[in-house]
Amino acid sequence: MMFRPFFSMILAFVTAGMSLPGKATDKIDAPYGVCAHVSRGELEIAPREFKRMHEANITWVRTDFDWRGVETKQGVWNFDRLDKLIPIAKQEKINILPILDYDVPWATPAWKHLDAWGEYVRRTVSRYRKDIRYWEVYNEENHKNFWRGIPRGADYVPLLKRSYEEIKKIDPTLTVLYGGTAGVPLDYIEDSFKAGAGNYFDVMNIHPYHWQGTPELMLAEFRDLEALMKKYNLEDKPIWITEVGWSTAKPNTLFRDILPAAFKRAGLDPAKNSVAVVCDEGKGFQGAGLFKQSGALAMFRQVDGITLDELRGLSVKRYPVLVPSIGEEFPAKYLPALLDYVKRGGTLLLPSGLPFYYELQPDGIKVQVNDKHMKEFHIGWEAWWVKDGVPKQETWQKPGPEFANAFKVDFKPAGRFLHDRNLKKGDEFIPIITAGTDNYQSAVAALYKFNSDLRGNIIVCTSRATLETVPEERQAEMLPRTYLIALANGVERIFWYNFRSGEWKPDEREAHFGIVRKNLDPKPSFRAYQTLTELCPTGSSRPSLEKKGSVYLANWTRPDGTKVWGIWSAIGSHEVELNVRGKVVEAMNHLGEKQPLPGKEYTVTPAILYLVGSESVSISSR
């Protein structure tokens, strides 16, 4: 499981109806998988999990074959757990994708102990080679917590090479997967390609998470990855996604408890006011659109989405609070409008990360500008990479002095701290959450209250873990979109992370990625998965995908010859003219619920509408 994706923005497709890249002529072959910890704590319930998976036509399960789980002491090998798992999976006709991963106390990090690692690979693969034909080499090797060191693509290659050679010695027909990367880190991947990685894997593999965005952001990543693979003559190797998903944990306490107290200190009553959030997919900027739909702003009387152009002269009276972005990027062209808004008394809410750390260019590229815009907004931040003495991560957090009895802090380290050095006379810096170590103290959330040339407020929270969950209904909307977008772009197999939620804490992100609950009851996303696999079963043609404006249209043909269409938007509702030729046998939503046949004028939403049987479907903007 990756810790943190890089939030990249999709390039806008400016040509109406432009076909997106992808193979539309071949057939899909068992593309539906999930991640499940059936080799760890879920072994005892694995038979029940597998039966539930079959209800959604899921035939692949990715799970860890941890080194330390089979070599329990140096030289002591115990495969009992895996020996129990394999027959169960075989009986239930579930294909296992094992991850060869991590290390043991006497050989850490693994990449510096290749002989010991090689023995682990050799023993494990030899034991299960008849039943398991695909082997993934490590998990998120570009993340320091998993790699046990500073990740470099070139350093991954010796481990990949040793694994590949050991596996091919056992059976040359076994398939080796590049370890699924956290996000799509092109620099890291290219560094490994330069060092020869392309000679030592059969399948490329990524984890394109977008916790603060939507599946449509993957499109630019697929394009760039395909271009990189072509550069190194690797374009014929298939691509898999072995992790992708969204968590349905409850919103962070920042929104439930902390922000109401901060707004009160700023002199605002959310229950009596409206908040504007910027969501402008038409300009390639999803911005706070997903945040608008998350429920995190339920404290406000009304939540309205606005475009970037509507920022100019935005009414402070109508919208005393504005959320311009939920990430660290913003189009520089519109920063003057934000500044003018604060000068006129408006309050900016910047809920995640370092404000305006990246300038978003018109072509969708992010340019890192660090604290370039901090002084003009009278705010400031510092971190270990820009100032000596600042810790990489705090060890404690607590409410600021003015909020001592207002709320409890759910400790989520930020590693980015706020300061008051850019204030002007009359301004105030009010820590909301203080944080630090034995030798350092600052704030990770603060209210900047202005009474200078600026007259409003800015509320900043630097933790990037505050906006990484979605409501269950949103997860269900994004699951089929993820699969259709990936399949349309040539991805062979996609594993949703994950199958079962652990639910050990209501607002813990990692505990709620599942499409079923801890007791295996289905969540809405399970129904969405089930509907997708019934409408696009194995053997269907690979979906094709078009985009017109903010609307996406996918289509494919099932093995029985029936055509199916799916239409949706990335964010928000959009009015279109829907032109359907031929009889629509059935219309249903993403959950499989029957819908009335749409008329010529139709409102597209992020929930897919499936149309079954029509000969052709086209859309045009109204």
352-373 pLDDT per residue, tens: 899 999 998 876 677 899 999 9
pLDDT at 471 over 80: yes
Q: How confident is the model at residue 305 (pLDDT cuts 50, 70, 90)?
A: confident
Mean pLDDT of 86-101: 97
pLDDT at 399 over 70: yes
Between 8 and 252, the higher pLDDT residue = 252
Query: Strands, DSSP E only, in 38-117?
Result: 60-64, 71-73, 76-77, 95-100
What is the rounded distance in angstroms from the CA atom of residue 447 to the CA atom of residue 459?
A: 5
Q: Which pLDDT value is given to residue 16? A: 35
From 281, 201, 290, select the one nearest 239 (Cα to Cα): 201
Mean pLDDT of 5-17: 34
Least confident of 215-224, 295-304, 330-339: 295-304
Mean pLDDT of 390-401: 95
pLDDT at 602 over 70: yes
How many CA atoms within 13 Å lie on the side-chain side of 95?
16
Q: Which pLDDT value is given to residue 213? A: 80
Amino acid at 295: G
The distance from CA 501 to its chain's CA centroid, rounded to whole angstroms, is: 17
Tokens of 407: 């709320």
Q: Which pLDDT value is given to residue 97? A: 98
Q: Is the peptide bond before 471 cis (omega within 30 degrees of 0)?
A: no
Q: How confident is the model at residue 290 (pLDDT cuts 50, 70, 90)?
A: low
The CATH number corresponding to 253-461 among 1.10.3470, 3.30.420, 3.40.50, 1.10.150 equals: 3.40.50
Least confident of 189-198, 408-417, 440-449, 511-520: 408-417
Q: Which pLDDT value is given to residue 78? A: 97
Q: Where in the chain is the domain with CATH 3.40.50?
A: 253-461
The distance from CA 6 to its chain's CA centroid, rounded to whole angstroms, is: 9
Percent of the chain with pLDDT over 90: 81
- CB 476 within 8 Å of CB 590: yes
The DSSP line for 346-378 is -EEEE-SSSTT-EEEPTTS-EEE-TTTTHHHHT
pLDDT at 563 over 60: yes
Mean pLDDT of 301-319: 94
Considering the entire predicted model, what is its pTM? 0.85
Mean pLDDT of 247-258: 83
Q: Where in the chain is the domain with CATH 3.20.20.80?
A: 18-247+470-535
pLDDT at 2 over 70: no
Q: How confident is the model at residue 17 (pLDDT cuts 50, 70, 90)?
A: very low
Least confident of 105-109, 452-456, 481-485, 600-604: 600-604
Q: What is the pLDDT of residues 115-168, one digit of tens each?
A: 999 999 999 999 999 999 999 999 999 999 999 999 999 999 999 999 999 999
Q: Which pLDDT value is given to residue 251? A: 75
Tokens of 114: 């290749």
Percent of the chain with pLDDT over 70: 93
Q: How confident is the model at residue 308 (pLDDT cuts 50, 70, 90)?
A: very high
CA distances to 49, 416, 448, 474 from 435, rounded to whole Å, are 42, 10, 17, 33
Q: How confident is the model at residue 377 (pLDDT cuts 50, 70, 90)?
A: very high
- Element spanning 503, H or E: none
Q: Which pLDDT value is given to residue 104? A: 97
From 530, 570, 556, 559, select the one nearest 614 (Cα to Cα): 556
From 1, 464, 5, select the one nearest 221 (Cα to Cα): 5
Between 579 and 283, the higher pLDDT residue = 579
Q: Which pLDDT value is given to residue 257? A: 84
Between 622 and 437, the higher pLDDT residue = 437
> Domain spanning 18-247+470-535 has what CATH number?
3.20.20.80
What is the rounded distance in angstroms from the CA atom of residue 118 to the CA atom of residue 113?
A: 9
Q: pLDDT averaged over the chain?
A: 92
